Amino acid sequence: MIFGGIQKNSLIDYPSKVSCVLFTQGCNFRCPYCHNPQLVASRSTRSPVFEQDVFAFLSKRKNWLDGVVISGGEPTIQDDLFDFCGRIKDMGFAVKLDTNGSRPQVVEKLIRLKRVDYIAMDMKTDPDRYVPVIAKAVDPALIRASAHAILASGLAHEFRTTCVKSIVDAESIRAIGVTITGAVRYVLQQVQCLEGHVLNPNYFKTHDWHLDGESISALRDIAAGFVEACTIRWTKRV
């Protein structure tokens, strides 16, 4: 596993658990609003976090942490994710996976092998609208397959959408709703453009990205018809 960072304590990243967050290095998407741009390239320019150091850290925190969040970057592009999750579970931690849903075969295998306890998947927009903003090429069937595998798994889960006006509107929320019908938890996240801290700051200068609170609330009302609970995660506009 290649890691770009570790957050040693979190009370919010794994619902109802005290967790740490492991950030894997490398992502196959290029979301302009990505808040972890240093994790997107396959190799970090910063000091890497070595796997043995991760296990040494977890051994010391066994009595303090309930769960481990494996986030990114995109964890499912790492070849040894299955073994890594297995080792973490063998240590007694619950495992939460954060994924962009682009590799359903990996998600399905993790579920089948019982290597994860909770999955959070991003739904960037209508799967048919990922190209070209999210990536140059994305097969929408893969996104739908990941969502369906999660829904069928019986595992704790959530889906989430960052509300960027240029790609998220009533129509795309309906398409997402159809894809994730029956989901236990769906979170709409207000986008935050921290200039210099997003992957593509230029996108925010050239696109109408901001959705106000009223508009996001209207999107929640649409989404609520498809899922058990839809909430909004507000951020302060900068």
- Please give the Cα distance from 41 to 30 (Å, whole number): 10
Residue 61's Cα: distance from chain center in Å? 24
Contact 109/97 with Cβ under 8 angstroms? no
DSSP code for 93: -
Place of tokens 């994790």: 39
The span of 27-35, 53-61, 76-84, 163-171 binding ligand SF4 (CB under 6 A) equals: 27-35
Nearest to 21 by CA among 60, 63, 75: 75
Q: What is the nearest approach in angstroms of ligand SF4 to the Cβ of residue 69? A: 14
Torsion of CA 74, 225, 155, 14, to 10 degrees: 60
Of residues 64 and 162, the one with the C-beta less far from ligand SF4 = 162
Sign of CA dihedral 28, 29, 32, 35: negative
Q: What is the nearest approach in angstroms of ligand SF4 to the Cβ of residue 124? A: 7
31 binds ligand SF4 (CB under 6 A): yes
Q: What is the nearest approach in angstroms of ligand SF4 to the Cβ of residue 134? A: 7
Residue 58 token pair: 């977890």
Q: Omega before 132 cis (within 30°)?
A: yes
Of residues 5 and 67, the one with the C-beta less far from ligand SF4 = 5
Looking at residue 29, its amino acid is: F
74 binds ligand SF4 (CB under 6 A): yes
Q: Out of 2, 20, 34, 216, point to the residue binding ligand SF4 (CB under 6 A).
A: 34
Q: Out of 100, 125, 146, 190, point to the residue binding ligand SF4 (CB under 6 A).
A: 100
101 binds ligand SF4 (CB under 6 A): no
The span of 3-11, 33-41, 170-178, 220-228 binding ligand SF4 (CB under 6 A) equals: 33-41
The number of residues in the chain equals 238
Of residues 75 and 177, the one with the C-beta less far from ligand SF4 = 75
The span of 26-34, 112-120, 168-176, 201-209 binding ligand SF4 (CB under 6 A) equals: 26-34
Residue 152 backbone dihedrals phi, psi, to 5 degrees: -80, -10
73 binds ligand SF4 (CB under 6 A): yes
Interacting residues with ligand SF4 (CB under 6 A): 27, 29-31, 34, 36, 39-40, 72-74, 100, 199
